[in-house]
Amino acid sequence: MAGELWGARKAEIIRGAGLFVLPSNVEGLPLAMLEAMREGIPVVASDIAPHQQLIGTNRGIIFRNGSIDSCANKLEWAIQNYRELKKLAANAQNHVKKHYSLQYISTEHLRLYKDLLESNQPKQTVLQASS
């Protein structure tokens, strides 16, 4: 409802949230969810594959995609179990900082490029001189 946000104002809004809910049917890499997780905001999301991959078993709450009842039940749980939800949010924050930091991504890209370059090097053939 805040419209398009950028920079410091966006970070301020994210940090002020008590809960991030993402009921998407289709996602690639949900950047908004990553931003919320990075800031330690508890996450409730639909059970599509990208959400399941990010949330795992201990980094947020998953509800059945397309089910209003499932979503409502998980939101009710979140309201009643805020301390437990904060633990999940801390796990999520640690996960994002470890696996989605610029340092980690850069290191992984460099490793991939190195592996690709090494695998495409022409093979050196040893020729034996005939006697």
pLDDT, residue 124, reads 63
Per DSSP, 3 falls in state -
**Bigger pLDDT: 35 vs 123:** 35
**Bigger pLDDT: 11 vs 99:** 99
| Nearest residue to 74 via CA among 21, 14, 13 | 21
Could you tell me the pLDDT band of residue 13, with boundaries at 50, 70 and 90? Answer: confident
Strand order in the sheet with 61-63: 20-22, 43-46, 61-63
**Full-model pTM:** 0.75
Above pLDDT 90, what percent of the chain?
60
Residues 6+ apart with CB under 8 A from 21: 43, 44, 45, 71, 75
The domain ranges of the chain are: 17-116
pLDDT, residue 63, reads 97
- Whether the pLDDT of residue 76 is over 70: the answer is yes
| Mean pLDDT on 49-63 | 95
pLDDT, residue 120, reads 76
**Cα distance between residue 113 and residue 92, in whole Å:** 28
| Nearest residue to 22 via CA among 62, 49, 67, 77 | 62
| Mean pLDDT on 35-60 | 95
Per DSSP, 44 falls in state E
| Mean pLDDT on 70-80 | 97
The strand pairing partners of 46, in sequence order, are 63
| Nearest residue to 46 via CA among 29, 28, 61, 32 | 61
Q: Is CATH 3.40.140.10 the classification given to domain 17-116?
A: no
